[in-house]
Amino acid sequence: MPFRETCLMEERIRMLSDYGTGNWSVTELCRRYGVCRDTFYEWRRRRESGDGRWFEDGSHAPLHCPHATADQLKEAILRMRKRFEYMGPRKLLAKLRAEQPEVAWPAASTIGDILKRGGLITPVKRRRRPVGQARPCTEAEAANDEWSTDFKGHFRTLDQRRIDPLTVTDSHSRFLLEVRIVPPTIEGTQPAFAAVFREYGLPRSIRCDNGPPFGSSGAAGLTRLSAWWAKLGIELHFIHPASPQENGRHERMHRTLKHQTSCPPAANAVQQQARFNAFRRHYNEERPHEALGQQPPAVLYTPSLRPMPRRIEDPWYDADHQVRRVRSTGEIRWRGENVFVSEALRGELVGIAELETGDHVVRFCDLDIGLLDRRARFRRFAPPREGLREPAAPQVSTIIPVRNVDNQPG
């Protein structure tokens, strides 16, 4: 108890003790202790009431607040929270307004106070505000302009089965296209993407990290999976190494996914996949998204107008290109020699165009993947990454900026 409050209580006890001796009048006691007569009579009344703690300060809270939230509104808020236990005050307010727009619901801050008093919010440690990132996510202007994909960190179910959830989202609408347990390999991932492409069509581009099964350290960062994307006419947006903030929208979804589906994990893989399926429906159709004005992603998402083709044609190159098919060893035949290009392009056609310098640029679809010098040595190019600040490399292609992997990190 603070020292000042202790002194005040002791003064009240002495004042009423002095009054009990009969040696002091009320006026003299009030002058001596610096209080008014009404205050004296109030403390005397409290002592005579028989309260053993009469000398302590009572609550100063008002007995009635005319602006207090009605009990029926509080009950409705608590019921909504129990229906959607992972939603915070702002999302609950959006759901309440959507279901009963005619009701004057309290502010989100008031809803937060009601949830705290109802014991439905667990206090968490305040997070330190993150430092601003130099390379934020790019803006997607329409649905299917860009999809984001990644593997959420693996974990194990109660039967010790390893779970690797592949996730795919639309960057514009935040629509969760897929959450599927698959092996983190090209063989495991490609059929899952084929199913998504058949259901929703093809995106204009895909944002992913530069590790397997999406990217590699080979020519243009391609794997057989990303080469298949390029062959389908999908642009590749590789983020920079160790830069998850460049896929921050997707990483934030992973945090929600982990909290609602794997803490704790399910008993086995079948039950865990059922949780993922239920989460995807909830995330897309019920959960308001703050970046979308508290609308669920399904309101904004529409399937792509580019269907998945039944047959994927070989890439086409201009007439000034020489065409070679990459062998099973990753090599092409060039000027009587076998030149290694990329294992990711086994069986694919590449185009080779001569430059003014006498060197030849090697292309796959619309990607410059490397350079053949006059000695028939192949120098692979690094993955194209937007915003990469490095010494400018010679411009050898009119398709995309070309960077040599030997002259830059990654």
Determine the distance from the C-alpha atom of residue 121 to the mean position of all C-alpha atoms in its chain, rounded to a whole number. Answer: 22
In terms of pLDDT, which residue wins out, 135 or 82? 82
Determine the distance from the C-alpha atom of residue 21 to the mean position of all C-alpha atoms in its chain, rounded to a whole number. Answer: 73
Q: Tell me the average pLDDT across 180-197.
A: 96
> Which range in 128-142, 157-171, 207-221 is most confidently predicted, on average pLDDT?
157-171
**Model's pTM, two decimal places?**
0.74
Query: Which residue ranges make up each domain of the chain?
Result: 3-48, 71-117, 147-299, 322-407
pLDDT on residue 123: 74
Residues sharing a CB contact under 8 Å with residue 335, sequence separation 6 or more, in sequence order: 376
- Residue 130, pLDDT > 60, answer no
The Cα 298–Cα 302 span in angstroms is 8
Lowest mean pLDDT among 80-94, 131-145, 214-228: 131-145
pLDDT on residue 195: 97
On average, the pLDDT of the chain sits at 87
Positive or negative: CA dihedral 155, 157, 159, 161 = negative
Residues sharing a CB contact under 8 Å with residue 223, sequence separation 6 or more, in sequence order: 186, 212, 213, 214, 215, 216, 344
- Residue 174, pLDDT > 50, answer yes
pLDDT on residue 244: 84
Q: Tell me the average pLDDT across 160-174.
A: 96
pLDDT on residue 52: 79
- Residue 346, pLDDT > 60, answer yes
pLDDT on residue 120: 86
Residues of the chain with pLDDT > 90, as a percent, come to: 62
Residues sharing a CB contact under 8 Å with residue 27, sequence separation 6 or more, in sequence order: 37
pLDDT in tens, 231-272: 999 999 999 888 888 888 999 999 999 999 999 999 999 999
Q: Which helix (H) or strand (E) holds 167?
A: strand 165-170
Positive or negative: CA dihedral 202, 176, 281, 263 = positive
pLDDT on residue 138: 63
CATH architecture of 147-299: 2-Layer Sandwich (3.30)
Of 104, 231, 10, 112, the residue nearest 223 (C-alpha): 231
Token pair of 296, please? 């669920």
- Residue 240 DSSP symbol: P
